[in-house]
Amino acid sequence: MKDLFTPDYMFASYREVTPAFLSSLGIKAVLSDIDNTLAPYEQPDPDEEHKAWIEALRAAGIAVALVSNNHADRVERFNAPLGLDAYPDSHKPSSKTLRVAMEALGVTPAETVMLGDQLLTDSYAGKHTGLTSVIVPPIKDKTNLFFRFKRLCERPFIRKYAKQHGYKDFMKFWKIKNTTEGNQP
Ligand SMILES: [Mg+2]
C-alpha cells in the first residue's frame, strides 16, 4: 500500500522552505497551512518574516496560497496584509480545496507543495492529491488529549522519515530519539 502519511520533506521551520529548494524540485506554488505552520494559534496577524518569506518566493516565481481548516475570521485577518489566495474551512485531508487553489494559480499537482504541520491532514491531503508534502514541527502545539493522540499517531511515520533521510533535532517534538547515535564508531 502506498504510504500517504510520511512527508516527502521535513524542515525545522517554514523559513527553511527556500526558493532554491523549491525551484530544484520544479515547484511553482506552495499551498500553506496557517496554524502552527506559519504562526501559533494566538498570533492573529502575519509578521515581517512571513512577508519576507512570501516575497522571496514570489521573486523566484513561486506563488503562495493559504489553505486552512480554520474559519474565515482567522484566515481573512491573517491574510489581510498579505493579499494571497486564501481558503478557510478547507476540510483537509479532502482534495477539494487543494484542487480549487491549484486551478486558481494555474499549476499542476507536480508543480505544487502542500506545506503543513500535521501528517494526518496536511501531508495526507497533499500526497493523495499528487502534491509534494513538506512538513514542519508545530510552532506551539495544543496539549489537549486529542492533539496528543494525533501526534502519537504520527510517530511511526516520522520515525520512518528519520530512517530514510536522517535524524533531525526537531524530531524530538514527536519524542523520537536519534537511534543512529549509539552506532557511531
Ligand atoms: Mg496546522
Rg (CA), the chain: 16
> How many structural domains compose the chain?
1
Ligand 1 centre from 36 Cα, in Å? 5
Mean pLDDT of the residues in the chain: 94
Whole-number Å distance between alpha carbons of 40 and 36: 5
Examine residue 82 and state whether it is found in any structural domain, yes or no. Answer: yes
Does 53 have pLDDT greater than 70? yes
Examine residue 3 and state whether it is found in any structural domain, yes or no. Answer: no
Ligand 1 centre from 165 Cα, in Å? 23
Examine residue 72 and state whether it is found in any structural domain, yes or no. Answer: yes
Ligand 1 centre from 61 Cα, in Å? 25
Examine residue 106 and state whether it is found in any structural domain, yes or no. Answer: yes
The whole domain housing 106 covers 9-141
Which residues are within 8 A (CB) of 116 and not within 5 positions of it... i.e. 6 or more apart?
Answer: 32, 33, 37, 92, 122, 123, 125, 126, 133, 134, 135, 136
Ligand 1 centre from 184 Cα, in Å? 35
Res. 179 pLDDT band, cuts 50 70 90: confident
Burial 20-39 (b: 16+ CB within 10 A, else e): eebeeeebbbbbbbbbbbbb
Ligand 1 centre from 44 Cα, in Å? 14
Burial 159-177 (b: 16+ CB within 10 A, else e): bebbeeeebbebbebbebe
CB-proximal residues (5 Å) to ion ligand 1: 33, 35-36, 117
Ligand 1 centre from 181 Cα, in Å? 31
Residue 124 sits in a domain whose CATH number is 3.40.50.1000
Cell 520515525 appears where? 159
Examine residue 26 and state whether it is found in any structural domain, yes or no. Answer: yes
Examine residue 174 and state whether it is found in any structural domain, yes or no. Answer: no
Examine residue 158 and state whether it is found in any structural domain, yes or no. Answer: no
Q: What are 96-143's pLDDT values in tens digits?
A: 999 999 999 999 999 999 999 999 999 999 999 999 999 999 998 777
How is residue 94 annotated by DSSP? -
Q: What are 2-16's pLDDT values in tens digits?
A: 799 999 999 999 999
Residue 135 backbone dihedrals phi, psi, to 5 degrees: -120, 140
Examine residue 169 and state whether it is found in any structural domain, yes or no. Answer: no
Nearest to 134 by CA among 121, 120, 122: 122
